Amino acid sequence: MLSAWVCAAAEPDEWVWKHVKHDRIGRAGVTGPEDLKAKALAALHRLPHLVCSFFRDPNLGYITA
């Protein structure tokens, strides 16, 4: 059985969420669900090249196969 980390490591959408959650808005003060959504979307819009790079990882060739 694969650990949850190994499964998440193969999913670029999980990398994106980790980056937004821990590296961008993890320490930001959030006042509610709409504020969280706004901060998450702002983080994604600032880093499109990084988000795309997660999906171009050579270990994830099965995605485009």
pLDDT of residue 2: 47
pLDDT of residue 25: 87
pLDDT of residue 20: 85
pLDDT of residue 1: 45
pLDDT of residue 54: 74
pLDDT of residue 31: 93
> Which residue ranges of the chain lie beneath pLDDT 70?
1-10, 61-65
Q: Where are the domains of the chain?
A: 11-63
Q: Which two tokens stand for residue 2?
A: 């694969």
